[in-house]
Amino acid sequence: MQKVVDFIQKLYSTTEFIPLHEPKFIGNEKKYLNDCIDSTFVSSVGKYVDRFEQEFAEYVGSKYAIATVNGTSALHISLLLADVKAEDEVLTQPLTFIATCNAISYIGARPVFVDVDLDTMGLSPKFLEAFLEKNCEIVNEVCRNKTTNKTIKACVPMHTFGHPCKIDTIKEICDRWHITLVEDAAESLGSYYKGKHTGTFGKLGTFSFNGNKIITSGGGGVIVTDDEILAKRAKHLTTTAKIPHPYEYIHDTIAYNYRMPNLNAALLVAQLEQLERFLTDKRALTKEYVQFFEKMDDINFVQEPKNAQSNYWLQAVLLKNKSARDKFLEYTNNHGVMTRPAWKLMNELEMFKDSQHDDLTNAKYLEERVVNISSGVRLT
């Protein structure tokens, strides 16, 4: 294991502590932030929010982008726009960050967990189809879960660590079962499936710009969609549902203060300019890891799945078993190289322990073996 620590220290040219993923501000960040402060428009109005929304939509190839205060709020609003209501069910994967399930729960809906594929670590179309065949029927164009007597309104796959899941097949299944597809693309900015950007396959897609993501605004998120009506409603719901008026305060529904401040958008516009450079840098890092781990029998480096171009947001390895994983985590973290296990499966958390789920063999397998290793951009 010392060999791994030595190698990572060589990669990052340091013997000091190496964080998992550090943000880099090497472009116009300070310039735009200063401009934003000088303008005094630091909050809810300002040119950087509009500019970011335009440039982001263009980058991922969607018609509209609506900036939000974080990725969780982007998911919350997207699920509301997918018509998810209290007591409805939402299909998702158990191997994900808590935000996915929190957003579902804010509405009073319940997550239902379907297993992931081993090659993508994301929702498995094969298990999705099997779950629906076994448990569900279509009644009056809605998907009814015969086991729980609830309606399945939406499906939220997640592109784990930036590796695209088999999203085109998932979309095809959702369409057939009258389930709205909402993509949690929080981790996959810069990742493509069959040449199309992740997050743009569903009716709505969401991204996060939290401090640990590939680009960051400190905190932030965005909703993307091609549907003009949904885009307008997303903007309305994230901005307290205020009716435009020169001076009066009229709001037409109970809504949210989820907009991204202009200050954060200024930072984000500059970060977006650096994205291609970050992606290239990460690919170079991946190449080094591939060569290094090829020579190790007991550690497998995770590469992008078929048909996909991954942003390699978090680099990952698979250990032989849970005890090997635990030893690896302990050794690396004790020797100045920060590494992290995958999340505890959502169905194992107290809040979701009663949620329906299928076998979850693959998710369990991955939970016990995956470790994320140093993934930060090096700018060499």
Would you tell me which residues interact with ligand PLP (CB under 6 A)? 70-72, 96-97, 99-100, 158, 184, 186-187, 208, 210, 221
Output the smallest distance, CB 183 to ligand PLP, in A. Answer: 10
Nearer of residues 100 and 151 to ligand PLP, judged by Cβ: 100
Nearer of residues 46 and 220 to ligand PLP, judged by Cβ: 220
The DSSP output letter for 154 is E
For residue 36, how far is the Cα from the chain centroid?
A: 28
Output the smallest distance, CB 247 to ligand PLP, in A. Answer: 33
What are the backbone dihedrals phi and psi of residue 166, each rounded to the nearest 5 degrees, phi first? -80, 70
**Chain residue whose CB lies nearest ligand PLP:** 71
CA neighbor of 30 nearest in space, from 269, 260, 277: 269
**Please, are residues 373 and 8 in contact by the beta-carbon 8 Å criterion?**
yes
Output the smallest distance, CB 341 to ligand PLP, in A. Answer: 15
Nearer of residues 173 and 346 to ligand PLP, judged by Cβ: 346
Spell out the residues 6+ positions from residue 6 whose beta carbon is closer than 8 angstroms to its own: none
Measured CA to CA, the distance from residue 30 to residue 17 in angstroms comes to 26
Output the smallest distance, CB 293 to ligand PLP, in A. Answer: 24
What are the backbone dihedrals phi and psi of residue 321, each rounded to the nearest 5 degrees, phi first? -160, 180
Output the smallest distance, CB 329 to ligand PLP, in A. Answer: 19
Number of H helices, E strands in the chain: 11, 16
For β-strands 196-197 and 315-319, DSSP reports them as unpaired
Spell out the residues 6+ positions from residue 246 whose beta carbon is closer than 8 angstroms to its own: none
Nearer of residues 71 and 376 to ligand PLP, judged by Cβ: 71
CA neighbor of 310 nearest in space, from 174, 185, 144, 175: 185
Tokens 């890092």 locate to: 285
**Any alpha helices (H) in 40-156, and if so which ranges?**
47-60, 71-81, 98-106, 125-135
Output the smallest distance, CB 190 to ligand PLP, in A. Answer: 14
Nearer of residues 4 and 373 to ligand PLP, judged by Cβ: 373
Output the smallest distance, CB 112 to ligand PLP, in A. Answer: 17
Nearer of residues 142 and 275 to ligand PLP, judged by Cβ: 275
CA neighbor of 376 nearest in space, from 23, 1, 10: 23
Nearer of residues 331 and 343 to ligand PLP, judged by Cβ: 343
